[in-house]
Structure 1
């Protein structure tokens, strides 16, 4: 039977989350896709499911186009699309997550 586990450390997680927040904050949200991909790439790299390490191949440029589209949909629908935004982001993240081995 295979084991599933996460082998990342707390200090690493704090560092990546803090760096992602600072990048997003300093760029007024424009670089959120880059910060998101950077943080999730680290998370996937340290996750093993049934003996297989995960690999994330998404890029900030791929996400940026979707991010602009989702923000415009949220503005046009007066915030209503915002309820589906986290689901759309999760679908994109899942689409780009694979087994490394």
Structure 2
């Protein structure tokens, strides 16, 4: 028998996390943006089940913050060219910090 894959997150919690992440990011002038990324991505991954196995996000804002500063510096030094790689680097970091719960 094949296990099912599904997502069990709800609309109200989605809206709540978006509002909270936006508020915190705005109030800190972007400094806490890595926290908002971790919070929202954690919600998304922790509500995902693949073939009967729930995913778990283990990343932390502090773990992302160091990379974030490095990436921003590389963007400045390369006059914006490195920005094309930041999305890929962020996805790699997310996957590196995602495991199966059970």
TM over 0.5: yes
Please tell me the TM-score bracket, short chain as reference: over 0.9
Structure 2 distance, partners of 1:33, 1:99, is 23
TM-score (norm 2): 0.96
Name segments (4+ residues, structure 1) moved above 2 Å. Answer: none
**Secondary structure in structure 1 of the residue aligned to 2:99:** strand
Q: Give the equivalent residue in structure 2 for 1:59.
A: 60
Using the TM superposition, give the Cα deviation of residue 22 of structure 1 relative to its aligned residue in structure 2, in angstroms: 1.1
Partner Cα separation in structure 2 for residue 59 and residue 82 of structure 1? 22
RMSD: 0.7
Report the Cα offset of residue 25 of structure 1.
1.2
What is the 5 A alignment of 1:79-98? 79-98=80-99
The alpha-carbon deviation at position 2 of structure 1 amounts to 1.1
Equivalent residue pairs, number:
101
SS, match of residue 29 in structure 2: coil
Task: Tell me which residue corresponds to 1:77.
Answer: 78
